[in-house]
Structure 1
Amino acid sequence: MRRRTAAALVAAIILAATGCGGSPQEGAKTVDPQAKVKLTWWTGQTDAAQKNLEELAAEFSKKHPNVTIELSSGASTTDELLQKLSAGFASGVYPDISYTFGNWASQLQESGKTLDLTEKVKDPAVNWAEFPASARTTATPNGQVIGFPAIVDNLALLYNKSVFDARKVPYPTDEWSWDDFRAAAKKLTDPAAKIYGTAYSVSASEDTTWHFWPLLWQRGGAILSQDGKQAAFNSQAGVDALEFLRAMAVDDKSVYLDQTDERYAPLFADGRIAMIINGPWTLHDLKEKKTDYGVAFLPGTNGDHQTVSGPDVWTLFDNGDANRAYWSYELIKWITSAEGDARSNLAQGNLPLRASETALPEYKTYVKEFPGAEKLVANLANAKQARPTVSGYVEMSRYIGEAISKALQGAAAPKAALDEAAAKSRQALAGG
């Protein structure tokens, strides 16, 4: 998962776009597979990942000469795509396909601009059930499939072997409890050398929030009430989870508090932080820096090592042209097939979208090139719940992130901070 930092205001703009005057131009009403079509694809990628998709797009066009694909990153950062999409909805000019963060799904579907693929993915050739459940749920906000999974991931425990070796601390295991984690973090912290046992983002972004969900879920807590209308994260389970983090940060002083989301991973790679809770997107940088690291499942509560997944989505948009809709679907269906994904995600160090990819030659190369990748693939089974795909999640996430940040910096007690976040979230969850 990439960082999710889009402001709640932008989500409100998307919802408002439904009532704006912009609308797609009139196009073909029925599909003619031979008609010339030009697709616009915002990838949200840069550098090697972008080049990889450009090559695949060129190959698709070669197979289907009537299809031209105008491919671009769409914005200077992936976070900015949401704002660009909202502006496009208002003007009536927006892409056929865009990379989107999973926590935007409800707002995008409610804009009325997405294609409804609910019936199409029932085609046995799609093998929709092969995608992880959390990814399918994320791509199906409000019961409507709006795209295909683009990225699947999860959070695991990454540890720097060099730091552990220097302090003569045993490496983490898949059976660790959170008490084991806390004890190790204290032993590994060296204030004089400015080495921390672990790290946590206090930027109040989605990076802050989603790291909290496993601790909540493992204690039996829930993010929302069963009807999805009320906050439930401020339960005793939530308070206990935040108190645990607060104690590590404030009492033990074993946590590097990252104000930006962007510092703790490089510091881990450089041996300044012993352990981080992170995912597969970090492996490429660790490989480049030649960091000696290991990967284990998240520490658990009473044997529950549940994690969280942050799937992203190739969202397809309705531009009022049946041919563009047809070929957008065909392109992304091909990209997310086992063979297509092996050449895109696996080549970039991302987890495979489909279980069947583990039988492909590309997978064997992937796990050899990216140590720890197999552990992260296995950890997908510990992603038993999906983050809510409800209207208001983006805004609610910000309030929770602020609560976590205050508690970890000693500015608020966990219960008071979470109660305040729950109160602030009421209007967002009610659609306000």
Structure 2
Amino acid sequence: MMTTWTGRRARLMAVASTALLLAACSGGTTDDGKDAAAGYDPSAAVTITWWTGQTMEAEKVAESLAAEYHTAHPNVTIKTSAGAPTTDDLLTKLSAGFAGDSYPDISYAFGSWAGELGASGRTQDITSFVNDPSFAWNEIPEAARLTATSAEGKVIGVPALVDNLAIIYNKKLFDAKGIAYPTKDWTWQDFRDAAKKLTDPGTNTYGTAYSVSGSEDTTWHLWPLLWQNGGKILDGKKPAFNSAAGVTALETLRAMAVDDKSMYLDQTDEKYMPLFASGRVGMVINGPWSLLDPLKTSKVSYGVSVLPGTNGDHQTISGPDLWVLFDHDNANQAGASRDFVKWLTSSGTDAKWNLAVGNLPLRTSEKSSPEFAAYVKEYPGGQEFFDNLANAKQARPTVAGYEAMSRNVGDAIAEVLQGAKQPQQALDDAAKKSEGALED
């Protein structure tokens, strides 16, 4: 399987020095407008390097797929490796590779890195390639397509994985308190009321939970609430999350954490899902990776429902990861890497990749496949997460500086939920700290 939140999903925690190194690597590098694959000869002998960013089990699947592609295209040799000890280390490894001219042709990347990687000047512009009708670009969820696209409209990669956030609830705890299960009509007030009823200090049980580590796990859980209230993350390159909509969003969370004390505050990102699986938390807002670990190995009886809504708006967020394609000034390498990624993300091959390792399918055309039927049978709640992709209507901005901004917002949320600051002050402080990083 692909790594879970503590590995793959503890995304966006790369240190500021990595972002600075990427920025330094981009110095003097400009996009000359030339197609990196211009003059590509599909019959030429070529070797491409693929950093999969995967754990051992998924890496074996990747190696088998590379071998399958090579059998069909014997002139193309694919050198496959994880690329780094963990997925989180890939950004540092890539930035060092840019400095030493030893970076791959294709690499797995967290979607939050897209802005930094695009600013490096090393990525291919594959906009025309993916917009060719044969690619079926529109079969991939819009939020994932937006993540792969820079603010200037340049597509630098292809989604490797799609997901979203939804409510996961413990049926046994709901039944014990006589609370009706979450529905598609739930509001945030419904969520808050249920969390209060589920909380029991006597048994040390909480109604819900939230990460206050300050990582992207802290930050991206706020964005759906911001969007549902009509707010936006940025206005151009300027922070806009500290608007009235942002304050309302954060106050919704603060009330549960501070006033109701119905929210378990996880300092690490790593505790709240095991606590849910053990019956100590009634509801969590999390993604489909939870169906693999820890829910698949637990005995908890759970259900999945869309996020609570604001005035009927149940927007969620998708945190897609990407296959980013890099330019080595070699048309055959560029062309071969494009062709391989097109094959890898096709509906037929994706069923052997994402569905095989327990992830949602990339493409809507896979919903009627036998592999998807097997997936939803093996992972209860998978169908609900797949359907919830329709509620992922916006994406985190693909801009350099998002990483630094995310840490600032994450710290602000943590301060508010722990009672140290009020929402407006905390978000204003985060916005001020983020201005420089976003303007660079």
Query: Which of 343, 346, 354 lines up with 2:355 in the alignment?
Result: 346
Given residue 228 of structure 2, which amino acid in structure 1 is its aligned partner? Q
Tell me the SS of whatever aligns to 2:234.
coil
Given residue 9 of structure 2, which amino acid in structure 1 is its aligned partner? R
Count how many residue pairs are aligned between Structure 1 and Structure 2: 424
How far, CA to CA, are the matches of 1:393 and 1:203 in structure 2? 17
Q: How does 1:27-426 map to 2 (within 5 A)?
A: 30-141=39-150, 142-225=152-235, 228-285=236-293, 286-426=295-435
Alpha carbons of structure 1 residues 330 and 7: separation in structure 2 relative to 1, 3 Å: same
How far, CA to CA, are the matches of 1:20 and 1:349 in structure 2? 42
How far, CA to CA, are the matches of 1:7 and 1:83 in structure 2? 9
Given residue 188 of structure 1, which amino acid in structure 2 is its aligned partner? L
Tell me the SS of whatever aligns to 1:314.
strand
Question: Are residue 12 (structure 1) and residue 11 (structure 2) matched?
Answer: no
Given residue 55 of structure 1, which amino acid in structure 2 is its aligned partner? S
1:53-74 deviation digits (Å, cap 9, x = unpaired):
1211111111122222221111
How far, CA to CA, are the matches of 2:21 and 2:427 in structure 1? 27
Tell me the SS of whatever aligns to 1:119.
helix
Structure 1: gaps (5+ residues): 22-26
Tell me the SS of whatever aligns to 1:388.
coil
Kindly indicate whether the alpha-carbon contact (under 8 Å) linking 1:294 and 1:372 is maintained by their aligned counterparts in 2.
Answer: yes
Tell me the SS of whatever aligns to 2:383.
helix
How far, CA to CA, are the matches of 1:399 and 1:97 in structure 2? 30
After TM superposition, give the deviation of residue 32 of structure 1 in Å: 3.1
How far, CA to CA, are the matches of 1:313 and 1:418 in structure 2? 29
Question: Are residue 3 (structure 1) and residue 3 (structure 2) matched?
Answer: no
Which range is displaced more, 172-181 or 34-43?
34-43
Tell me the SS of whatever aligns to 1:345.
helix
Given residue 336 of structure 1, which amino acid in structure 2 is its aligned partner? T
Kindly indicate whether the alpha-carbon contact (under 8 Å) linking 1:220 and 1:237 is maintained by their aligned counterparts in 2.
Answer: yes
Given residue 331 of structure 2, which amino acid in structure 1 is its aligned partner? A
After TM superposition, give the deviation of residue 195 of structure 1 in Å: 1.4
TM-score scaled by length of structure 1: 0.95
1:293-337 deviation digits (Å, cap 9, x = unpaired):
100000111111111111111001112222211111111111100
Given residue 219 of structure 2, which amino acid in structure 1 is its aligned partner? T
After TM superposition, give the deviation of residue 270 of structure 1 in Å: 1.6
1:342-377 deviation digits (Å, cap 9, x = unpaired):
111111221111111112111111111111111111
Alpha carbons of structure 1 residues 430 and 29: separation in structure 2 relative to 1, 3 Å: closer
Tell me the SS of whatever aligns to 1:31.
coil
Given residue 111 of structure 1, which amino acid in structure 2 is its aligned partner? S
After TM superposition, give the deviation of residue 282 of structure 1 in Å: 0.9
TM-score scaled by length of structure 2: 0.93
After TM superposition, give the deviation of residue 276 of structure 1 in Å: 0.5
What is aligned with 1:24? none
How far, CA to CA, are the matches of 2:179 and 2:413 in structure 1? 29
How far, CA to CA, are the matches of 2:43 and 2:223 in structure 1? 48
Tell me the SS of whatever aligns to 1:32.
coil
Kindly indicate whether the alpha-carbon contact (under 8 Å) linking 1:213 and 1:308 is maintained by their aligned counterparts in 2.
Answer: yes
Alpha carbons of structure 1 residues 290 and 340: separation in structure 2 relative to 1, 3 Å: farther
Tell me the SS of whatever aligns to 2:80.
strand
Tell me the SS of whatever aligns to 1:89.
helix
Q: What percentage of aligned pairs have identical amino acids?
A: 62
Kindly indicate whether the alpha-carbon contact (under 8 Å) linking 2:37 and 2:334 is maintained by their aligned counterparts in 1.
Answer: no
How far, CA to CA, are the matches of 2:83 and 2:175 in structure 1? 44
How far, CA to CA, are the matches of 1:51 and 1:289 in structure 2? 26
Structure 2: gaps (5+ residues): 1-7, 30-35
How far, CA to CA, are the matches of 1:267 and 1:38 in structure 2? 47
